[in-house]
């Protein structure tokens, strides 16, 4: 066989091998990814595990907080507005089974504020679980409007999935989105006592709302919780986003709405808050 004929035969053989390699009957098939269970039961189980770890992972953190409060009349007339910047401290207290936050307000409507009691001195004074009234007073110092707000941690909605509380809720799947990375929307309703929130006289306040949860990991991406106490209706929503520094999904934006429907006291308060610059708190100051 001449050199030219040999080269032609080799090209023909390569072409034939290429056709065989592309034959769907003989080509290797990619592995089929495991199907993700998006049932309410499976998603809740994953989310409870996620929140259990998150309570440890998200302990003792600081963030920069920018909040805008607006108070309006029932017909939309503006009564008051306020914009604050603060250093925001957040942690979970396992023994109390609750999240706790502390705000060091640094600026109100552009004017610098010198807080008499900052986070570090407050934490050194006593265990956080014993400072409830002090912290509540500090956090509400610059609130406006006629509605008292004491449970506005951005992580408040995560309590629905905590070991202490999730069995008192009914969960129903209302939607799935995201394709290969399904995010499940669950509706929840509190049906048993003790409730997450109690009134000033100890009466139960039953809550309901929605959660957006990554079905594969249990990661909570959004919470919305609604409560009604006598003449006041409250809605608190938090959107989470990934943070590279902490390597966690963290509260990014919180939206609050409070509506007082009682006669002459009728007004609506909205609070839009942005959290940025997350970092770890130096826990050495609280180890005794």
**Residue ranges per domain, the chain?**
58-286
Exposed e or buried b for every residue in 111-136, given b needs 16+ CB within 10 A? eeeebeeebeebbeeeebeebeeebe
**Region of 215 on the Ramachandran plot (φ > 0 left; ψ -120 to 50 alpha; else beta):** alpha
Helices (H), 97-255: 119-125, 132-139
Exposed e or buried b for every residue in 35-64, given b needs 16+ CB within 10 A? ebebebeebbebbbebbeebbeebbebbbe
Q: Give pLDDT tens digits for 231-262.
A: 999 999 999 999 999 999 999 999 999 999 99
Distance CA 202, CA 258 (A): 20
Residue that is written with structure tokens 């919780």 in the block: 225
Residue that is written with structure tokens 């509380």 in the block: 165
Whether residue 189 contacts residue 208, with contact meaning beta carbons closer than 8 Å, is answered with yes
pTM of the entire predicted model: 0.85
Along the 288 residues of the chain, how does pLDDT read in single tens digits?
444 444 444 333 333 333 334 444 445 555 556 789 999 999 999 999 999 999 999 999 999 999 999 999 999 999 999 999 999 999 999 988 999 999 999 999 999 998 767 888 887 777 787 888 888 888 999 999 999 887 789 999 999 999 999 999 999 999 999 888 999 999 999 999 999 998 888 899 999 999 999 999 999 999 999 999 999 999 999 999 999 999 999 999 999 999 999 988 899 999 999 999 999 987 644 433
């Amino acid at each position: 066989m001449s050199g030219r004929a040999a080269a032609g035969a080799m090209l023909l053989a390569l072409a034939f091998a290429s056709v065989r390699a592309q034959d769907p009957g003989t080509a290797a098939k990619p592995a089929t990814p495991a199907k993700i269970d998006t049932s309410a039961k499976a998603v809740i189980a994953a989310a409870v595990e996620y929140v259990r770890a998150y309570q440890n992972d998200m302990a003792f953190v600081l963030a920069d907080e920018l909040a805008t409060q607006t108070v309006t009349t029932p017909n939309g007339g503006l009564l008051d507005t306020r914009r604050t910047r603060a250093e925001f401290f957040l942690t979970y207290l396992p023994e109390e089974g609750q999240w706790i936050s502390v705000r060091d307000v640094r600026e109100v409507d552009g004017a610098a504020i010198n807080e008499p009691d900052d986070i570090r001195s407050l934490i050194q004074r006593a265990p956080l679980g014993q400072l409830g009234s002090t912290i509540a007073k500090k956090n509400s110092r610059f609130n406006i409007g006629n509605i008292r707000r004491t449970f506005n941690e951005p992580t408040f909605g995560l309590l629905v999935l905590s070991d202490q509380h999730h069995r008192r809720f009914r969960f129903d799947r209302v939607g799935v989105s995201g394709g290969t990375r399904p995010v499940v929307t669950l509706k929840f309703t509190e049906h048993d006592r003790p409730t997450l929130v109690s009134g000033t006289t100890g009466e139960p306040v039953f809550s309901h709302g929605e959660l957006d949860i990554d079905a594969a990991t249990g990661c909570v991406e959004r919470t919305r919780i609604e409560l009604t106490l006598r003449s006041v209706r409250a809605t608190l929503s938090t959107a989470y986003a990934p943070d590279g520094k902490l390597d966690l999904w963290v509260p990014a934006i919180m939206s609050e709405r409070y509506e007082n429907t009682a006669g002459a006291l009728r007004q609506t308060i909205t609070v839009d808050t942005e959290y940025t610059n997350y970092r770890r708190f130096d826990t050495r100051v609280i180890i005794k």
